[in-house]
Structure 1
Amino acid sequence: MTHPASLPRQPDAITPDSVAAVDAAITSRRSIRRFLPTPVPREQIEAILAVAARAPSGTNTQPWRVHVLTGERRQQLCDQVLAAAAQSDPTKRYTEQYDYYPSEWVSPYIDRRRKVGLDLYGLLGLGKDNKAGMQMQQARNFLFFDAPVGLVFTIERVMGRGSLLDYGMFLQSVMVAARARGLDTCPQAAWNHYHSVVLPLLGLDPERHMMVCGMALGHADPQAIENTLLTEREAVSGFTTFL
């Protein structure tokens, strides 16, 4: 017989205040691109991950594996990936393990992609011809945008594509739980190009494990101009059909 103490705690009643708090955590989440060096206690990271672990997954498979990097281990990862990214033709030498973006862009997706890029680079004063400046900004991905905590998410290759759907719900839960605690994040697919560098540094066998993404975690720099970027969202009527 299962002891009552081992059962999950029943959720508290939902109140208007709790609805507002959840909505605020979701709607205030943004991809932050410059962080303060303020440390994040391990206990707080563990609390965030414990909450996120309640994310749903098919038949409760829980396919996520999280690697938390701080201090020297974080710096080692950043240094090695930055060195790889600085090589000639890095996009030919390093490729993603799965297709994140479509092979052929169509509207409205290409329009949204272009707009967010132009808006970000516009805030940073980087014109279309400033390729070097854009490359430097892109390389900041591999510093976790100065966040003191770098998260790397992996999955075992044996899992099916449906597990990536589960993973997305877990990642969103991580970001919302962090936001509820006054922290900010930036999910980063850019790391995926360098999985052949990252996985061995994590002690993982690339034949068995696949990288899903990286994520910066910390306190947003309130003075950074890039952190004022607020991306647009389609109205509910634009993506919903009521039948």
Structure 2
Amino acid sequence: MDVTEAIETRRSVGRVKQEPVAPEDLERILESAVHAPNHRITEPWRFHVFVGKGRGELARVRAEIARRTAAEDGEDEELAKGRISRERKKAFRSPVVIAVVSVAGRDEVETLENYAACCCAVQNMQLTAHALGLASIWRTGPSAYHPLMREFLGLERDGDTPVAFLYLGSPDLPVTRRRRRPVREFTVWHEG
């Protein structure tokens, strides 16, 4: 598949089969990430790959964040149990979850550029997964930015930032083309 076709046909797919993803495919996906453009070659990305029982570590952190949030919100016990269960299950919605984080730069501008580079890295990963016949979906949400998740992911400095939880697997639903508005609706041409 050429790059234009990959860009135009890739879409987020939230339902995947639980069959394992081949290790060599995971390596290709991760390798594609580090070829994203990054100003000053800062290589700001860090990856945490959760597979098999390793997803349990992520599930425990998500559940604890949900428990703490429910307590802070004053939820009754039954509602809290539901919230905790839903958050725990998110770690198991695909056979592979890759947390992508961006490390802080030397200043505010470099930190912002590092984050943008990591977003490009995630897009590379999604395109590579798509080219390999795999589905992916990019998620974050409030738990991604919770202090406990930051601690779990080893984010120590203020500018260290979660970028994505990338869920990967074989699609478990028909993949359809998505509609996009024409680019002319978003473009202003400045010509001499």
Q: TM-score range by the shorter chain?
A: 0.7 to 0.9
Matches within 5 A, 1:152-191: 152-158=99-105, 160-190=111-141
Distance 2:88 2:142 in 1: 8
TM superposition score normalised by structure 1? 0.62
Matches within 5 A, 1:89-238: 89=70, 139=86, 143-144=90-91, 146-158=93-105, 160-190=111-141, 192-202=143-153, 204-207=154-157, 209-222=160-173, 231-238=178-185
Give the structure 1 partner of residue 27 of structure 2: 46
**Deviation of residue 88 (structure 1)?**
5.1
Residues 189, 214 of structure 1: 8 Å contact kept: yes
Q: 1:83 to 1:234 in 2, by over 3 A?
A: same
Sequence identity, in percent?
Answer: 26
Give the structure 2 partner of residue 29 of structure 1: 10
Matches within 5 A, 1:9-20: none
TM superposition score normalised by structure 2? 0.76
Q: 1:206 to 1:39 in 2, by over 3 A?
A: same
Higher Cα Rg, which structure: 1
Unaligned runs of 5+ in 2: none
Give the structure 2 partner of residue 57 of structure 1: 38
Residues 67, 151 of structure 1: 8 Å contact kept: yes
Indicate yes or no: 2:20 matched with 1:73: no
What one-letter code is carried by the residue in structure 1 that aligns with 2:156?
P
CA RMSD of aligned residues (A): 3.1
Residues 98, 166 of structure 2: 8 Å contact kept: yes
**Deviation of residue 148 (structure 1)?**
0.3
Q: 1:167 to 1:211 in 2, by over 3 A?
A: same
Residues 34, 145 of structure 1: 8 Å contact kept: no
Distance 2:9 2:88 in 1: 21
Residues 63, 163 of structure 1: 8 Å contact kept: yes
**Deviation of residue 51 (structure 1)?**
2.2
Q: 1:88 to 1:66 in 2, by over 3 A?
A: closer
Q: 1:222 to 1:71 in 2, by over 3 A?
A: same
